[in-house]
């Protein structure tokens, strides 16, 4: 049975449901080049998408797989969390 969603994370990642209920992400084949800034709504150019097998979500602190998004001309990162099912924005140090 296929169980996945493409409507999350602005379409940057596809969420797959694992056997243990743990979510897993993959890159969306038709990922957008820009996503809206969560504060201003202005489009931010996506620089790179990076999948991580084992990382800690900054929002829910769950250890698991996730995806990082970096942007051009913007120091912030966004983290796609399979548990939160949303993009968590991270201010860069």
Q: List interacting residues with Zn ion (CB under 5 A).
A: 57, 59-60, 81, 83-84
Q: In the complex with Zn ion, which residue's Cβ is closer, 25 or 46?
A: 25
Question: How many CB atoms neighbour CB 90 within 10 A?
Answer: 15
Q: In the complex with Zn ion, which residue's Cβ is closer, 5 or 33?
A: 5
Residue 30: CB minimum distance to Zn ion, A: 24
Residue 43: CB minimum distance to Zn ion, A: 24
Give Cβ neighbours of residue 71 (< 8 Å, ≥ 6 apart): 44, 45, 46, 47, 77, 78
Residue 86: CB minimum distance to Zn ion, A: 8
Q: In the complex with Zn ion, which residue's Cβ is closer, 60 or 63?
A: 60
Would the CA dihedral through 56, 28, 78, 2 be positive or negative? negative
CA distance 25 to 39: 25
């Amino acid at each position: 049975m296929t169980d996945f969603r493409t409507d999350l994370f602005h379409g940057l990642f596809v969420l797959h449901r694992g056997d243990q209920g743990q979510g897993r992400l993959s890159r969306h084949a038709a990922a957008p080049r820009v996503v809206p800034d969560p504060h201003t709504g202005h489009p931010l150019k996506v620089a790179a998408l990076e999948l991580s097998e084992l990382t800690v979500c900054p929002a829910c602190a769950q250890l698991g797989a996730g995806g990082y998004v970096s942007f051009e001309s913007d120091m912030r990162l966004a983290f796609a969390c399979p548990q939160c099912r949303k993009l968590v924005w991270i201010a860069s140090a």
